[in-house]
């Protein structure tokens, strides 16, 4: 995500948990966001980043199941969006079962399961669940999904440690959540193959130290492209200069993957659809005609996004260093 907490140590995960706990209090009479408009949502997160205070309508919207409904859709011939308005989940269909990226969180897990079924996949047919990092909005649904699938749940060791620790810390909050025990551990350079699909694992620390990104093949008729789900875009849980330096190095690495002479990254299937306007871009799929370019194949858009993320991180690094952190 493009926002950061320059003046606050509170992470988006903590803030969202806070929102869960006060739905009937401070935010009771707040006006909700209308739909899933990327610019408006991003502006509110940026305001949160500047002030450390979550605007009431954003707090309500984050945890409102009706407001968060997004119809599942086919992004590519083999990839489907099954998430909600504020956080993504992707189903990759292969010749030997399905792969899920990220699990959402309550109260949206039933909605996720329904969306998975609506795109023609039964939970029992999911062979791998890849999780980008240990924040509850990306792994909070694993506990319910675990009982419905025979899948291997996959994350880096640090990601598992972060998720398990965060779950335990939530026990004293109004909105506790449960995390599964560590399952399959992956590291940088690992590859997961299933049927006709190859997933490449990249450790991309920065958003959290355990963050991973995944690249995979997407199909558009006879055309094939390499997509990436960048595991974490925000600087909202930064603990000091070293973490920001890791973040900058991760952004540069993704830029290098885009510049590769073989199988370059051309598509960003993001973890938060509002972060790069994906919510609006996917509407172009409905009116796309034969021969039209695919609206989600946007390497220039990803390149600009990465430049912005790196610039923001460099600004944050100066702040952290000045503060002696």
Q: What is the CATH number of the domain that holds 163?
A: 3.60.15.10
Helix 38-51 vs helix 12-21: angle between axes, to the nearest 10 degrees? 100
Q: Is residue 1 part of a domain?
A: no
CA angle, corner 15, sides to 109 and 105, nearest 5? Answer: 10
Q: Is residue 4 part of a domain?
A: no
The pLDDT, as a whole number, for residue 32 is 58
Prior bond of 220 cis (ω within 30°)? no
**What residues form DSSP beta bridges with 213?**
202
Q: Is residue 141 part of a domain?
A: yes
Dihedral angle, C-alpha 105, 111, 113, 118, nearest 10 °: -150
CB-CB contact of 89 with 102 (8 Å) = yes
Count CA within 13 A, CB hemisphere, residue 132.
29
Q: Where are the alpha helices (DSSP H) in 173-298?
A: 241-258, 278-281
The pLDDT, as a whole number, for residue 57 is 85
Phi and psi at 10, nearest 5°, equal: -75, 125
CB within 8 A of 231, min separation 6: which ones? 132, 133, 204, 207, 211, 212, 213, 214, 271
Other Cβ atoms within 10 Å of 309 Cβ, number: 25
Place of tokens 């269909």: 93
The pLDDT, as a whole number, for residue 221 is 96
Q: Is residue 81 part of a domain?
A: yes
Each residue's pLDDT tens digit, 59-107 = 889 989 999 999 999 999 999 999 999 999 999 999 999 999 999 999 9
Closest CA to 149 of 124, 180, 186, 130: 124
Spans in the chain with pLDDT lower than 50: 1-30
Q: Is residue 2 part of a domain?
A: no
The count of structural domains within the chain is 1
CB-CB contact of 109 with 144 (8 Å) = yes
Task: Specify whether the backbone of 91 is left (phi greater than 0), alpha (psi in -120 to 50) or beta.
Answer: beta
Distance between CA atoms of residues 85 and 274, nearest Å: 8
Q: Is residue 282 part of a domain?
A: yes
Q: In the 8-state DSSP scheme, what is residue 320?
A: H
Quote the domain boundaries for residue 93. Answer: 12-322
The pLDDT, as a whole number, for residue 9 is 38
Place of tokens 């949502």: 41
The pLDDT, as a whole number, for residue 114 is 98
- Helical (H) or strand (E) element with 94: strand 90-94
The pLDDT, as a whole number, for residue 6 is 34
Q: Is residue 264 part of a domain?
A: yes
Q: Is residue 6 part of a domain?
A: no
CB-CB contact of 211 with 231 (8 Å) = yes
pTM: 0.90
């Amino acid at each position: 995500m493009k926002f950061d907490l320059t003046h606050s140590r509170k992470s988006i995960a903590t803030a969202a948990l806070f929102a869960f706990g006060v739905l009937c209090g401070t935010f009771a009479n707040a006006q909700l966001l209308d739909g899933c408009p990327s610019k408006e949502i991003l502006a509110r997160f940026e305001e949160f980043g500047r002030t450390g205070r979550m605007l009431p309508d954003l707090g309500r919207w984050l945890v409102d199941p009706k407001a968060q409904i997004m119809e599942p859709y086919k992004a590519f011939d083999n990839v489907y969006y099954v998430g909600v308005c504020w956080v993504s989940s992707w189903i990759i269909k292969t010749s030997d079962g399905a792969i899920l990226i990220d699990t959402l969180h309550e109260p949206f897990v039933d909605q996720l399961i329904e969306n998975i079924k609506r795109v023609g996949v039964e939970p029992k047919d999911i062979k791998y669940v890849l999780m980008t990092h240990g924040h509850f909005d990306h792994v909070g649904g694993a506990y319910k999904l675990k009982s419905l699938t025979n899948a291997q749940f996959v994350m880096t060791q640090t990601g598992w440690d972060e998720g398990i620790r965060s779950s335990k810390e939530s026990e004293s909050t109004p909105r506790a959540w449960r995390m599964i025990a560590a399952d399959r551990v992956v590291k940088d350079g690992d590859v997961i193959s299933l049927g006709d699909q190859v997933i490449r694992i990249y450790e991309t620390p920065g958003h959290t130290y355990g963050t991973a990104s995944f690249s995979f093949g997407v199909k558009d008729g006879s055309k094939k492209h390499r997509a990436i789900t960048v595991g974490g875009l925000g600087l909202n849980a930064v603990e000091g200069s070293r973490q920001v330096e890791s973040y900058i190095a991760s952004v540069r690495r993704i830029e290098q993957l885009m510049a590769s002479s073989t199988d370059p990254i051309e598509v960003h299937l993001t973890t938060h659809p509002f972060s790069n306007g994906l919510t609006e871009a996917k509407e172009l799929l409905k009116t796309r005609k034969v021969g039209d370019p695919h609206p989600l194949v946007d390497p220039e858009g990803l390149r600009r996004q990465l430049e912005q993320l790196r610039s923001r991180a460099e600004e944050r690094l100066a702040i952290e260093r000045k503060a002696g952190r």
